[in-house]
Every structure is written in C-alpha cells, then in structure tokens.
Amino acid sequence: MEFSFHTKNNFIFKLMVIIISIISPLIMIAYNSEIPSLSSYWRTPLQPLFLISNLLTSLILITIPKWKLSGGLLLILTCFSVEYYSSFHDFIATLFFISNLYSLNSIKKYRSFVFIYLTSVIWYPNLLWFEIHAILVLCIYHLFVLISYNKIQNKRN
C-alpha cells in the first residue's frame, strides 16, 4: 500500500502524531516533574517515548514546506542527546524553537499562534514548562491547520 499524503490515512496518521505529541510531555511530567527539560528524559526509562514522539513529529514536519527546517532541527536535536552533546544539542534546540516562529507566521489565518507561542518565554521561568507550552501551542496550531486542510480537501472531493 502506497502512503500518499492526500489520503484519509494521512489525516489519521498526522492526527495520531499530534495526539502523541500532546500526551508525551504530560506523561513525562507525571513520571518526573523535577527534570530540567524534556530532553533530559533521554536519561530516564521514558527515553523511547521521547525518541518516538520526536521522530514522528520530525517526519511530519519535514513533509510540510514551511516546516522543513523545524523538522530537520528537531531530528538533529533528538539524535544528539543532551547527555553527550550538551552544547550542540542546546544550540540546535534553540534554533528549533526560533525557527518555529517563521513557520507559525506563514499562514495569515493562524498568526495569533505566534503571540501565544512567545508567551511561553514570559510566563514560564524554567525550561521544562517553556518547552511544554511551546510544544502544546505547536500541536494545537498543527491540529487547526490539519482540520482546515481536511475540510478543504473534503469539499473538493
């Protein structure tokens, strides 16, 4: 079976990845909220959840034209653990979160997400909560775009 990005299967797959990406940080927090960042879960039994959720998200982002850079950066930061490559990982993670601003700003209809995304810098004093807020905003943004795109495709068919 060919995996076409214009099928119902694609919608369901992307929806599942968004749901996994929303739930993963919440599971991680429930497991241990004392950890400094999401990348620190690399050192816990939740490492597979961290890796799978980031890899699936990277796969989706790389297929979206304005999100290719973010997807590539997420893949790179996932491959280079904070434990062994701390400085490089942190640099790539910073680029990832900054690059999302460009991508969030690419659809006029959803530009308000840029402001909501930026509030994570102001409201959360530690890195873990900043990351969780930013990820939840990105997931909700992609959920809105996915649903809108699906409605348009359904009207055309």
- The 10s digit of each residue's pLDDT in 54-90 is 999 999 999 999 999 999 999 999 999 988 999 999 9
pLDDT at site 19: 96
- Better-predicted residue by pLDDT, 124 or 22: 22
pLDDT at site 89: 95
Question: Which 3 state secondary structure label does DSSP give 1?
Answer: coil
Q: What's the pTM value of the predicted model, to 2 decimals?
A: 0.88
The rounded Cα 33 to chain-centroid distance in angstroms is 19
Report how far residue 96's alpha carbon sits from residue 66's, in angstroms, rounded to the nearest whole number: 13
Q: Where do the DSSP E strands lie in the chain? A: none
Q: In Å, how far are 8, 42, 49, 151 from 146, measured between CA atoms? A: 12, 29, 23, 9
pLDDT at site 1: 36
Q: In the structure, what pLDDT confidence band is assigned to residue 8 with cuts at 50, 70 and 90?
A: low
Q: Euclidean distance between the first and final Cα of the chain, in Å?
A: 21
